[in-house]
Structure 1
Amino acid sequence: MLACACALALVLGVPAAGAAPGPPGPETRRSAPIITPTPQDLRQRDDRATITPTVTLVAGDKADATALKVTQQALLDAGAHRVVRAEGPVAGRLTVYAGGPGETPQTAGALTALGVEGPGQLPPEGYVLAVGERSIALSGQDTAGTYYAAQSLRQLLPERKGPGAKVAGAEIRDWPTTAVRGVIEGFYGIPWTHAARLDQLDFYGEHKMNIYVYSPKDDPYLRERWREPYPAAQLAKMKELVDRARARHVEFTYALSPGLSVCYSSEADIKALTDKFETVWELGIRTYAVPLDDISYTKWNCQADQEKWGTGAAAAGAAQAYLLNRVNRDFIATHPGAAPLQMVPTEYYNITPSPYKKALAELLDEDVVVEWTGVGVIAPVITVAQAKAARSVFAHPILLWDNYPVNDYVTNRLLLGPYNGREKGMPAELGSGITANPMNQAYASKIPLITVADYTWNDAAYDPRTSWQTAISLYADGDARTEKALRIFSDVNYSSRINAQQAPDLAADIARFWESGGVAALDRALAGLQKSPDVLRDRIAEQEFVTESEPWLDAAEAWGVATRAALRMVRLARDGEGAAAWDQRQRLPGLVAAARSFTYTDLDGRKIPVVVGEGVLDRFTEDAAAEHDRLLGVTGTVKGLTNLPTYQGNLIARMLDGDNSTFFWSSRATAAGDHVTVDLRKAREIGGISLAMGKPGSANDYMRQGVLEYSSDGASWEQLATFSGKAVVTATAPAGTQARYVRARATAGQTNWLVVREFAVETKDGSVTGGPPAAAGSSLRAAADGDVTSVYRAARAPEPDEALLVDLGGEREAASVTVLQSRGGSAQAVVQVRGGDGDWSTAGELEDAYGEFTLDGERVSAVRLLWSEGDGAPQIAEVVVR
């Protein structure tokens, strides 16, 4: 089968299963068609069809209307001027037969003439599509199958302005391996618009997904006000959704969530639930669900339930089974054509046996479908064994509610990577199928949802990376520039719980740069990142994608600017252009801050900073700054380290920023062995240590019991002090103590999280004296602390004969001395060094922001800046002796 697929790929340009598509050619539009989801069996024929000016369409009265519309439009897009219905072929015209055995009887003869077996032995929704010299035949095992055949034909045919296109002969025999495939709109946060929902239903049909579960958290009549009838206007909108879904062969599932207030034993509540179902039955809805997720089962909503079932998890399972069985028998069983009832258990996220699951398994009607999210609310992997275990522990058919690409738990991010971590063969063990929970951003969700559709249709042939590349190409609508820009943007929004690596393409480019030093190649990649948002704004067909992704597009563009500046800084420093590199270094923090400044507004009106390329783009700017530090000959910025996870944006670096109002905040309670650590970047003599924890509003978020320790290598630790029950801890290291690392380590667990406002470690290697005095918030020591981001800012202009003295704490052989002024600093000074004989000699004059002075290896113990009188207040970032 694979050999046949590959052979056809050579003729049609269709990527074979598992093969990565090559880069787009020079044409604006892609010429090679892509069929997705990947067909089960796709074979080459020796003949080919020609799109004639008039095409005859043969279709019976029972042929699926939407399939015929798709077929007709595909033929017109391929260059036909007219598509005319007829009972049979007309000489000189291409004839297209559309409809399965129960729709268009003539199709059977057309398939026989082409030497192709019909769809009779295929599973439901299967189809046969054959392209021959004079005819094309589409035949579904049912009407859905014919519709899916039309969708494959739409992808197979070229797009031309006129007739004459040659279409290579092909035979496709295809069917889904997952019976139920689609989407559950079940996220929290900003809801989809009605227009977006209608568009999504069109999209599901195009990609052969057959279910949409209507469970939006913004619909109060589904959850908080579930007993109340819908207003007429909202019912009218729902009716429009139901009709659109049916036309696209998508099953509209109505999910009512009564768990917040239902009395399980109440006849009135059971009637209210079934009455609500009856109301929407009139809209044409035939599939129903009762989610009982995200509620408590440790307390009842009415005393009658406790009297009937008692207390505990098993009692909750019994009560829920009672309610669901009544709905199943009173409503589902009395409405011919209703699909099996679906439910979401309160324990929906694992396969661990429990009293609750046991009660539900034993008491729930056997035809009720149970929804499950895998092992975890967002499962990194879902295996065949786990699916079997879920089927066993719940003892019911399983419909996987897969929480990807949903981003309501990380609303600052887009999740555009592929569907991943789902083992081949897993869907067959579920008993029902798979629904994916999408993002708040409906249009951006289409990229990962295309990969979900690919997996659920043909998991055996599924390759996440190939499917992702195909999804991007399809969403770019064949435009090569859009496709390139969309891939770049999706790459920096790639990672999630199921895709561990962020920005895999760009991360590889960066890794190659650090290995080989190839600046040009990385600059091209970063330039692509900078420019891709504008390309998408200008060229992408669905401008709604731009509207909902705007802050992330802005951030990606800004990160492109920042990372290119960081790369330029490294190149200049390596090329010996110190002044230009220093200028770039001073611009960098502002560019990074700009990249982090973009926000979106959530439902509560809060401004949420968006994140793009986390751990790759920010890491590159940090690594570039560290490389610049290395080339300058300084230790670099003191770093914060911890093993604790971070709550929202309260990063570990905030405990070292000198601002008592900002803080590091962990996202879990502190356990024994957890730590926060200051990395001084090299072994230095340390003095006073201050650890300030807790904050207003979270006064108890501090390490209750712990120890202050220091180390030179990060492996062997010496104790400085212990502490208990204090939010502010201070200690002083014995004179002469050398350390690179200082940490606070918890010696006992606790229930509170950890806030660290500031963790300050005094260093004593060398000293800075003289004047002018430092302004508030600054210090003389900042002029020579190894950190170019800390600045000595003088409180005033220099007075006559005033000087700044940097004592190195001993003699050293020096090749040069470099003086760095911060942006805006304009002080001038004579730069002097003190030699081994104690005498001062002039190295040069500081006149600009960057001054580098050669010393030719002489022994130096101090550097002095003799200020020129009358200049502005000095601002010295660092005095560096190499």
Structure 2
Amino acid sequence: LEGADGPGLFNAAQTLRQLVTRESSKGKGSKGDKGSRGFAGVTVRDWPASPVRGITEGFYGDAWSQQERLEQLDFLGRTKQNRYLYASTDDPYRQSSHWRDPYPAAQRAEFRALAERARRNHVTLGWAVSPGQGLCFSSDEDRRALLRKVDAMRALGFGAFQLRFEDVSYSEWHCDEDARTYGSGPKAAARAQAELANAVARHLSARHPGTEPLSVMPTEFYQDGATDYRSALAEKLEQGVQIAWSGVGVVPRTITGGELADARSAFRQHPLVTMDDYPVNDYAQDRIFLGPYRGREPAVASGSAALLSNAMRQPTASRVPLFTAADYAWNPKRYDPEASWEAAIDAVAAGSGTEEAREGAREAVHALAGNDASSLLGGRESAYLRPLLAEFWAAYDAADSDKKSEVKRLRRAADQLLDAFGTMRTARERVPDALEREVRPWLRELARRGEAGEQAVKMLTAQARGDGGAAWDARLALKQLRADGPERGAVVGKGVLADFEKRALETSERWAGVRRKAFGDQTVHGGPTARPDSPAEAAVDGDPDTAYRA
């Protein structure tokens, strides 16, 4: 193993570890396999497209624990990422209320431990400060206080810094002197922010020469094109100060190389830090976004000074999409979202004990991620289930009890679907403990949808073979599961699982000979085709379920 520097050698070791792990797992179960960890001779000459790759802890809500942060730093090391930006919205000591104040001793000790773990993983720890709403830009004392705080954080082991102004008003100052010094409007705000950023950048360069370049999160971090504010900020900022942006939009579906070039032009060629708001879910707290990183052109990785993904509140669950974002940032031209996503699931399920337990964990994590894969970035929810559902409906519609081939086809399709639904129902018992604690509501909802899917399949297959009793029992169970309602605050399989259940129930009503016709507030059952001795006739004045009793 060779590396251009220490981090390069460290990353070469991660590549070796990945090769050993992959080849060892591929050999499991083969005849004569003794669990050897050999693999074919290879030569890998590799380097990242994006020089800085990592994550932001910047979601709104309860912050990660110290242990969760330590584990996330280990994850960054394993996935060859090198930046952790601490921007916790739950931390008053980095925001307008208490940014001047020193951290308590216990928190300082935690930061030192984070810095040591980051160093071992060749990760640079970054600290973001948002003083804008509680700072007088023209005050020398406030400026000195900010520099003292930066010095204190540098002493604790932070090697990168970001000034954040995303929530600062253009027209609202926090001292009279600012209004007299800068005036008002976007240009005035940009000048004030730039002067403060320049002071911090010069201080870092003089006092802490090994520190990474300062980055600034501007008030206009997601807008498109040049504006008065952007032009003034870029003009006043000293060369080398980086500017953060999120693409065109807070959570853009796509980010193109052309948009990056336009943003760089709008900011007068200052280096750009792409801060992608995926997979963060604070704006949709009933969702967990477990689909792969997608919709970003290769030029975004190669053209950014840094590429950081904003994580979810759920740190272990976040590793599925964050793993894929790391793959993209390293080699965007060869990045395969689906292949990377499968590898991410393997990584999250790893360490679950025996080989059988790991395989069960992998199936469970796959079921969870597969039914929570869509987001504003796109992706099809429950994509792995869709072909199974389509084949089941095709087999059901074509089923003829007198034709063995069609009966066999329906049985095969039903078995495949029952297996998939069974995995969903039991996923909570098989996923790693840390993941189970984080996403318990979604696992409960996944189990409910899995059991409902099983009952729907049993109901329909019973109907296909003319077993009204079994169909009735399954129908009652399905309706009860639906009556129990979805798990509060947890959406799973959006647009797929509930639709399957609904279609199954509607199909069962048609099978029973029940026709519904909306008529004001009433529902009329039966119709001109109903015979006196048909199930529909028995349900004329009651609920369609009565048809099954008939």
Give the TM-score, by structure 1 length. Answer: 0.56
| Corresponding position: 1:154 with 2:154 | no
C-alpha distance in structure 2 between counterparts of 1:166 and 1:203, whole Å: 24
Following superposition, the deviation at residue 170 of structure 1 comes to 1.5
- Alignment partner of 1:511: what SS? helix
Following superposition, the deviation at residue 295 of structure 1 comes to 3.6
Following superposition, the deviation at residue 634 of structure 1 comes to 4.4
C-alpha distance in structure 1 between counterparts of 2:411 and 2:184, whole Å: 67
- Alignment partner of 1:371: what SS? strand
Q: Say which of 790, 815, 833 aligns to 2:531.
A: 815
C-alpha distance in structure 2 between counterparts of 1:165 and 1:245, whole Å: 29
1:807-863 CA-partner distances (Å, limit 9, x unpaired): x7xxx454355568xxxxxxxxxx8xxxxxxxxxxxxxxxxxxx58xxxxxxxxxx7
Q: Say which of 255, 271, 279 aligns to 1:405.
A: 279
| Corresponding position: 1:617 with 2:497 | yes
C-alpha distance in structure 2 between counterparts of 1:163 and 1:813, whole Å: 66
C-alpha distance in structure 2 between counterparts of 1:527 and 1:445, whole Å: 27
Q: State the partner residue of 1:184.
A: 56
Counterpart amino acid of residue 147 in structure 1:
F
C-alpha distance in structure 1 between counterparts of 2:110 and 2:329, whole Å: 29
C-alpha contact 1:379 1:498 (8 A) present in aligned 2:
yes
- Alignment partner of 2:45: what SS? strand
Q: State the partner residue of 1:225.
A: 98
Q: Say which of 332, 335, 339 aligns to 2:208.
A: 335
Mark the runs of 5 or more structure 1 residues left unpaired by the alignment. 1-137, 600-608, 638-679, 685-761, 764-780, 787-807, 821-830, 832-850, 853-862, 866-874
C-alpha contact 1:287 1:338 (8 A) present in aligned 2:
yes
1:444-491 CA-partner distances (Å, limit 9, x unpaired): 111111101100001111011111111112222273332222212210
- Cα 1:499–1:163 change in 2 (3 A) is closer
Q: State the partner residue of 1:268.
A: 141
| Corresponding position: 1:516 with 2:408 | no
Following superposition, the deviation at residue 279 of structure 1 comes to 0.8
Q: State the partner residue of 1:700.
A: none
Counterpart amino acid of residue 614 in structure 1:
K
C-alpha contact 1:530 1:556 (8 A) present in aligned 2:
no
Following superposition, the deviation at residue 165 of structure 1 comes to 5.5
1:180-200 CA-partner distances (Å, limit 9, x unpaired): 100011101132110010000
Q: Following superposition of structure 1 onto structure 2, how do residues 712-861 of structure 1 map, counting pairs within 5 Å?
A: 762=520, 781-782=522-523, 784=524, 812=528, 814-816=530-532, 818=534, 851=538
User: Which protein shows a greater Rg?
Assistant: 1
- Cα 1:296–1:816 change in 2 (3 A) is farther
- Cα 1:286–1:474 change in 2 (3 A) is closer
Q: Following superposition of structure 1 onto structure 2, how do residues 688-699 of structure 1 map, counting pairs within 5 Å?
A: none
C-alpha distance in structure 1 between counterparts of 2:230 and 2:253, whole Å: 23
Q: State the partner residue of 2:306.
A: 433
C-alpha contact 1:406 1:440 (8 A) present in aligned 2:
yes
- Alignment partner of 2:461: what SS? helix
Mark the runs of 5 or more structure 2 residues left unpaired by the alignment. 397-409
Following superposition, the deviation at residue 523 of structure 1 comes to 4.6
Q: Following superposition of structure 1 onto structure 2, how do residues 32-43 of structure 1 map, counting pairs within 5 Å?
A: none
Q: State the partner residue of 2:380.
A: 501
Following superposition, the deviation at residue 533 of structure 1 comes to 6.0
Q: State the partner residue of 2:440.
A: 550
C-alpha distance in structure 2 between counterparts of 1:254 and 1:813, whole Å: 73
C-alpha contact 1:211 1:251 (8 A) present in aligned 2:
yes
Q: Say which of 518, 527, 530 aligns to 2:422.
A: 530
C-alpha distance in structure 2 between counterparts of 1:483 and 1:879, whole Å: 43
Q: State the partner residue of 2:6.
A: 143
C-alpha distance in structure 2 between counterparts of 1:532 and 1:140, whole Å: 44
Q: Following superposition of structure 1 onto structure 2, how do residues 482-501 of structure 1 map, counting pairs within 5 Å?
A: 482-501=361-380
Following superposition, the deviation at residue 300 of structure 1 comes to 1.8
| Corresponding position: 1:235 with 2:108 | yes
Deviates more, 1:238-247 or 1:474-483: 474-483
C-alpha distance in structure 2 between counterparts of 1:558 and 1:364, whole Å: 55
More strand by share: 1
Q: State the partner residue of 2:460.
A: 570
Following superposition, the deviation at residue 338 of structure 1 comes to 1.8
C-alpha distance in structure 1 between counterparts of 2:529 and 2:508, whole Å: 22
Provide the identity percentage. 38
C-alpha contact 2:371 2:493 (8 A) present in aligned 1:
yes
Q: Say which of 179, 182, 195 aligns to 2:67.
A: 195
- Alignment partner of 1:255: what SS? strand
1:99-138 CA-partner distances (Å, limit 9, x unpaired): xxxxxxxxxxxxxxxxxxxxxxxxxxxxxxxxxxxxxxx1
C-alpha contact 2:324 2:341 (8 A) present in aligned 1:
yes
C-alpha contact 1:257 1:291 (8 A) present in aligned 2:
yes
C-alpha distance in structure 1 between counterparts of 2:39 and 2:461, whole Å: 52
Aligned residues: 517
- Cα 1:287–1:878 change in 2 (3 A) is closer
C-alpha contact 1:288 1:339 (8 A) present in aligned 2:
yes
- Alignment partner of 2:8: what SS? helix
Following superposition, the deviation at residue 334 of structure 1 comes to 3.3
Bigger relative contact order (CA 8 A; separation at least 6)? 2
C-alpha contact 1:485 1:535 (8 A) present in aligned 2:
yes
C-alpha distance in structure 2 between counterparts of 1:357 and 1:448, whole Å: 31
C-alpha contact 1:574 1:631 (8 A) present in aligned 2:
no
Following superposition, the deviation at residue 520 of structure 1 comes to 4.0
C-alpha distance in structure 2 between counterparts of 1:417 and 1:550, whole Å: 18
Counterpart amino acid of residue 93 in structure 2:
Y
Deviates more, 1:379-388 or 1:500-509: 500-509
Following superposition, the deviation at residue 535 of structure 1 comes to 5.2
Counterpart amino acid of residue 613 in structure 1:
G
Following superposition, the deviation at residue 339 of structure 1 comes to 1.5
C-alpha distance in structure 2 between counterparts of 1:293 and 1:364, whole Å: 16
Following superposition, the deviation at residue 576 of structure 1 comes to 3.7
More helix by share: 2
